[in-house]
Amino acid sequence: MRFTFKDKREAETVFKALKPEVQASRSFKSRVQMRLEGRSLTMVFRAPTLSSLRASLNSFCRWVSQLQRILELASRG
């Protein structure tokens, strides 16, 4: 899954915010790898079951969405 942000700074902020969640995923059923390339954040998900994969995808999509909203609000002052 790839997310593209408006600038590199925003992508880096989201990457850093999600990093602890990616590290925590190693101890659960699903595994997530993240890669930052410019203003794009790529995530690769692996899980033994479809339900585990769906849960992981839903969580990360929700977190990215919330982080984007927070960054938007912060930029407005």
> Contact 6/39 with Cβ under 8 angstroms?
yes
Domains within the chain, CATH numbers bracketed: 2-76 (3.30.310.50)
- What single letter denotes the amino acid at residue 60? F
Q: What are phi and psi of 33, to 5 degrees?
A: -120, 140
Q: Taking the model in full, what pTM does it have?
A: 0.88
How do residues 48-65 score in pLDDT, each as one tens digit? 999 999 999 999 999 999
How do residues 4-47 score in pLDDT, each as one tens digit? 999 999 999 999 999 999 988 665 788 999 999 999 999 999 99
How is the chain classified by DSSP, letter by letter? -EEE-SSHHHHHHHHHHHHHHHHHHTTSS-EEEEEEETTEEEEEEE-SSHHHHHHHHHHHHHHHHHHHHHHHHHHH-
